[in-house]
Amino acid sequence: MIKKRTRDSLKRELRSNPTAAIGVVLLVFLIFGGVFAPFLAPHDPTTQYSDRTHQAPYGFGDQSEQTNFVDGEMVTVVEDNSGTMTHVLGTDANGRDLASRALYGLRTSLMVAVTAMIISIVLGTTFGLISGYYGGKIDSATMRFVDVILAFPSLLMALALFGILGPLTLSAPDPFVQAGIVNDRPASVPFPGTVTIAISAVIWVWIARVARAEAISVKNEEYVTAAKTMGMGDLSIIRKHVFPNCFTPILVLGTVQLATIIIIESSLSFLGFSGTTLSLGFDIAQGRDYLGSSWWISSVPGLFIVGAVVAINFIGDWFRDALDPDTQGEGR
């Protein structure tokens, strides 16, 4: 699928672009953390330590004195929320380890992002190529439908679809726990099915527009005309000639849209529509009432979201600079 010339261009751009290298390293690190969360998480993300609530990250926090009335007498209580290595990123209001919850929440975000993007690319590329290649009424009907979806904000459309479909969370056995490799971790992996479908329904239209534009450009090339003259069928022409020449812009757009998917998924989780509590957006929502005192409850999952979005955008820029002939050589 990826030609040698394309691979060489990607390697050359990676060597000359430090931000691309940073994005690759950061994304690999985050993917590794999400996939192997059962190994890397120091605690069960659902376990509540009632004696360790609001514990600050390691290196933060201090002792504080509070005076309360107990049995009619003034009693001074010393509270210590100093961070420890036991909970290196701190704990939330229920005493749950934030490092463990962030890793499992990242796992959820990555699963939704990858699944939604695969669905979006399949749908968008299929409809876009057929629409652009055949044109006429097929193109008009498809693009008017796409325009209707694009007329609504992505988050609003996702919320509407969630309301129509209802909550659906699939639960798959965690392979590491089922194999007995790790213990004392959640036995299943929650997968927000409705959220994934809703996000796919608002993302595929962007892929379709790009695929359509590329198909319109390619279908008038001489090699496509020659293929028709030789008696090659339309589907064979689309598969062998049109799609390979549309792959690069679809790849670039799909990579950038991964960041959008993570943001939408986190937003839906923040609003309570995820269907699982092991989500970065859900944890941010849980900490919004404690921003003044326990800022880390929302900040830790927020930093994971920022890291994933920045890494994906760096990689998207790398793909664009390496594969777009209009930008190659700029700044050099």
Enter the pTM of the model. Answer: 0.86
Average pLDDT, the chain: 85
Distance of CA 50 to the CA centre of its chain: 32
How confident is the model over 196-216, as a mean pLDDT? 91
- Is residue 12 in some structural domain? yes
81 in a structural domain = no
Work out the average pLDDT over 237-265. 87
The stretch 119-126 carries a mean pLDDT of 93
Model confidence at 182: pLDDT above 50: yes
Tell me the mean pLDDT in the region 34-52.
91
Cα–Cα distance for residue pair 262/198, rounded to 1 Å: 13
Tell me if 82 is assigned to some domain. Answer: no
**Amino acid 305: pLDDT:** 95
What's the pLDDT band for 24 if we cut at 50, 70, 90? very high
What is the average pLDDT across 115-124? 93
Mean pLDDT, residues 17-43 taken together: 92
Number of domains in the chain: 1
Q: The tokens of 273 are what?
A: 């529509």
Q: Is 249 left (phi over 0), alpha (psi -120 to 50) or beta?
A: alpha
Give the 3-state secondary structure of residue 10.
helix
Are 39 and 176 in contact by the 8 Å Cβ rule? The answer is: yes
User: For 265-278, what is each residue's pLDDT tens digit?
Assistant: 999 899 888 778 88
Per-residue pLDDT, 69: 59
Contact between 165 and 194 (Cβ < 8 Å): yes
In a domain, 14, yes or no: yes
d(CA 298, CA 80): 20
| Residue 123, domain member (yes or no) | yes
Q: What is the CATH number of the domain that holds 299?
A: 1.10.3720.10
Domain assignment present for 80? no
User: Domain span at residue 137?
Assistant: 4-58+91-323
What local confidence, expressed as pLDDT, does residue 331 receive?
44
Looking at per-residue pLDDT, the higher value among 244 and 311 belongs to 311
- Report yes or no on 66 lying in a domain: no
Residue 225 lies in a domain: yes
Report residue 323 as tokens: 């594969």
Q: Lowest-confidence range among 41-45, 86-90, 165-169?
A: 165-169
> Which residues on adjacent β-strands are paired with residue 75?
68
Write out the two tokens for 309.
């979005």
